[in-house]
Chains A and B, each alone.
Chain A
Amino acid sequence: MRDTLHSLELSGEVRWNGINQLLRENGSGISARVKHETSLGSEATANATGEIPEALINRELPLGSYPPSIQFSRAIFDFKADVYVLSIQPDLQIQPARHRHGGFLFHPDGLQQWEETDRQWLMREFASQPRTEPDAAMLALENLIGKLRTVSDAPILIYNVSSLVPGETIHCYAGLEDILSTRIKHFNLALIELSQRTGISIVDVDRIVAETGAAAMKIDTTHLTEQGCRAVAEEVVRILQDYGCIPEAATKA
């Protein structure tokens, strides 16, 4: 999501400059300020208090893009945005651990780089969680949407995920109930039902990729090429035009 709206950098080179590249090409004079934060998933975001739990304070861990300040951030509720853009990808792919006493969720990102003492601490303090199933994820997402709507009427857009897994050639699914492409299909369908219930807009990454072809649009299962980023950003602009967030005049070349 960040790649499509903010920027895509490959091999140290900016290959796509985000939604503002489109707005500039349109000659509108309008620019978007994109504030991006990583997420552990809908349950964690919905329940974030803004305070880092005591168990994590003063614990130096190489958490990469998931520092405690972000993992427990309430920014999505506190920041007054014109548009909120979420994604089902964290619920699909991140499996946070749960603190045994405090009950809070925590993502041990970069675990392979952790010191052994920190790994031992993790195993003592946290219990691993099973993967989030689509129904539970949508319940958590609906809860998050409900909380967001108590503080803002701004449109909420949610990205689905392309279910095309490069290189997959399966022709019989007997015994393969849990593969990623099937899981993504479940989530994408469940998101349609969530949209029907709550009125959120879906940024249909899955359809957009299929329309032009995964060969041109995807780098790997979850990352899009420059062309893919542009196509998805164009869809976001189209949806925002429908909402009136971007005036019609802004789309004239």
Chain B
Amino acid sequence: MSAFPSIEIIAQVDAAEQGGVKTGVEFLGGCLKAVRNGVQQPIKLAFADPAAEASKIPPARIFITSMQVELARPKRTREDIFEHWAGHLKELQKHSALVFLCTIFRNVSNQGASGDSIDVLARIRELNLIAVKLSHALGIKVIDIDRTMAHFGDRVLLSDFRMRSPRATDAFAHTVASAILAAGPDDLIDPMDQEKARKALGDIDSLPRLIRRREDARRQRAEANG
């Protein structure tokens, strides 16, 4: 039996984001293990159907969702979007100590080449602002994927909002792990361990080093496998 409580996480995110969430949870577990002399804290991650209503989702200590889920739906008014999400998130807050909402990277490849991509970018901007307003209104936490990825850019991360590269996945993951630790989950992780784990993970400026390390590891594995 573990000395630490199990961290149960449910993520209701777009398919393109699942890799980032999974890797983020691995980063979180890895940092905690590193600061506890190799002792692991159990972390269980499950994914909910993006279309599932809040009442149908099992309870979990941490819930992560994303505005990409809304982007995949037909366009509707800002008021309708806010009302829907406020209701959804309030329901989730009844069963989760921490509710997180991910923003969307404000970059669409082939911008200007078609009216569709211009419309998508406008929607992304709208949804990112609604995420902030939901955080104002409900106190939910924001995992600001947009901010992290815009700090480095499409040209470094090799992906637009669709998360199509390992670098984008790693950036997403780092942002998830950082956000969970920054939110102060004191009933799940000892505050001192949270601080140590945050240092072990590193801030946004350490992300390029992390990405390079993981790229080198992937390359070496690929070479080893022939």
Are A and B genuine complex partners?
yes
Which residues of A pack against B, CB within 8 Å? 164, 168-177, 182, 185-186, 188-189, 192, 206-207, 209-217
Q: What distance in Å separates the Cβ of A32 from its nearest Cβ neighbour in chain B?
A: 22
B164 in the interface (beta carbon within 8 A): no
Query: Given A192-B125, A207-B107, A210-B105, are A171 and B141 also a contact pair (CB < 8 Å)?
Result: yes
Interface secondary structure of B, over-half rule: helix
Q: Find out whether the CB atom of A172 lies under 8 angstroms from the CB atom of B141.
A: yes
Cβ of A239 to closest chain B Cβ, rounded Å = 10
| Cα–Cα, bound, A70→B116 (Å) | 41
> Is B106's CB within 8 Å of the partner chain A?
yes
In order of increasing CB-CB distance, the 8 nearest A-B pairs are: A213-B153, A210-B150, A173-B135, A174-B139, A212-B153, A213-B152, A185-B129, A173-B136
Cross-interface CB contact of A188 among B125, B132, B155, cutoff 8 Å: B125
How far is it, in angstroms, between the C-alpha of A212 and the C-alpha of B150 when the chains are bound?
8
Distance to closest chain A CB from B133 (angstroms)? 8
**Cβ-based interface call for B193 (8 A):** no
Given A171-B182, A172-B139, A173-B135, decide whether A211 and B153 contact each other with a Cβ distance below 8 A: yes
Q: How many A-B residue pairs have CB under 8 A?
A: 85
Question: Could you tell me the distance in whole angstroms from the C-beta of B138 to the nearest C-beta in chain A?
Answer: 8
Known A-B contacts A185-B128, A189-B125, A189-B129; the reply to A211 vs B140 at CB < 8 A is no
Q: With CB as the reference atom, state the residue of chain B lying closest to A213.
A: B153
A186: B residues at CB distance < 8 A: 129
Chain B residues 143-162 with CB under 8 Å of chain A are: 143-144, 146-147, 149-156
Q: Tell me whether A174 and B136 are in contact in the complex, defined as CB-CB below 8 angstroms, given that A164-B150, A192-B122, A207-B107 are known contacts.
A: yes
Chain A: CB-nearest residue to B146: A210
CB <8 Å contact, A215 and B132: no
Q: Is the CB of A171 within 8 A of B143?
A: yes
Q: In the assembly, what is the distance between CA of A161 and CA of B125, in Å?
A: 13
Report Cα–Cα, A175/B140, bound state, in Å: 12
- Selected A-B contacts with CB under 8 Å, 26 pairs: A164-B150, A168-B147, A169-B182, A169-B204, A170-B144, A172-B135, A172-B142, A172-B183, A175-B136, A177-B136, A182-B132, A185-B125, A185-B128, A185-B129, A186-B129, A188-B125, A189-B122, A189-B126, A192-B122, A207-B111, A207-B121, A209-B150, A210-B107, A210-B146, A210-B149, A217-B153
* Nearest B residue to A167, CB-CB: B204
What are the residues of chain A within 8 A of B107 when measuring CB–CB?
207, 210-211
The answer to whether B129 and A214 touch across the interface, beta carbons within 8 angstroms, is: no
> Is there a chain A Cβ closer than 8 Å to B179's Cβ?
yes
User: A185-B125, A185-B129 given as contacts; is B140 within 8 A of A215 (CB)?
Assistant: no
Give chain B residues whose Cβ lies under 8 Å from the Cβ of A209. 150
Cα distance A195–B121 in the bound complex, in angstroms: 15
Min distance, Cβ B195 to any Cβ of chain A, angstroms = 15
- Selected from A176, A177, A185, A211, the residue in CB contact (under 8 A) with B154 is A211
Contacts of A176 in B (CB 8 A): 136
A210 partner, pick from B133, B135, B153, B182, beta carbons under 8 A: B153
A173-B132, A211-B154 known; 12 other A-B pairs, CB under 8 Å?
A169-B204, A170-B142, A172-B135, A173-B133, A173-B142, A174-B135, A182-B129, A185-B125, A185-B129, A211-B111, A211-B153, A213-B155
